[in-house]
Amino acid sequence: MLVGVTVVMLTTLRPDAVQGTVVYDNGISGFTENYYGEFVPGLSQVGDEVVLSGNARSFHLSEFRFAYSGKGLTGGETVTVTLYANDGSVGLSGVPSPGAPLWTSAPFPIGNTTHNAITTGYVDIVYDQSDFGSLLVPKHLTWAVQFAGFTPSATCYAGLLTEGPPETGLNYDTYWGKNIITGVWTLLQQGNSGPPDTRTPISFAASFTSDYQVPDSTAFWDLPLSAMLVLIIGGVIKRQRQSSVALVGVV
């Protein structure tokens, strides 16, 4: 008897025979045409809206990575990553804001990185299939981070690398900022109050890798066996990880 495996009927899946394809890369494989330096968000949640490369409707993620810097951190600081669908409310920007969370990481510990007068040292944080399980994400989404565990100042902060344009996929020269008090997302640029030609484009360094891509209008039972196993086993691993977290502290 098969125990602990739940098969969920999926009616619109059939992956291409694509394994480990980089579907978005902005500055992770190497510096792009423009390096804009550090972006320091304090403790506010900020996000970058991106478009993954390819003709698929959705993507199964095998890896996501981004670069951060830290200075003056003393221990206990973390970062949390959230992937959002862009199906939220339409504000003054005229475009949908980040809406439904697709996936949220556990808080990940961060530390200081190397700084000198010429360059800033960055560290990549990597999430893989064991984190994502059977998660499918749309072609158009926002990835967001929120740092925590410190009091931001000129000598104590965590930041993101800003670059552009991406080598693979598309993004915009804006970023999303979430108001800590109201929870409302606003579309912003660096120097947002100045004329457009004086604003610095903001695109955070990150990459997405997909082990398969999902076109429209096919059935779960038409999936190759390997893809079925990825969905089923990935879901089991995710539930086991969640169960383990839920049991922490239970006596």
Q: Domain locations in the chain?
A: 21-220
pTM: 0.75
Contacts of 244 (CB under 8 A, 6+ apart): none
Where are the alpha helices (H) located in 73-123, listed in sequence order?
Answer: none
The CA-CA-CA angle for residues 207, 100, 179, to 5°, reads: 85
Note the pLDDT tens digit of each residue in 33-79. Answer: 566 678 999 999 999 999 999 889 899 999 999 989 999 999 999 99
- Average pLDDT of every residue of the chain: 77
Q: Per residue, what are the HEC states of 84-140?
A: EECCCCECCCCCECCCCEEEECCCEECCCCCECCCCECCEEEEEEHHHHCCCEEECE
How do 58-71 and 157-164 pair as beta strands?
Answer: antiparallel
Residue 118: per-residue pLDDT: 45
Residue 20 one-letter amino acid: G
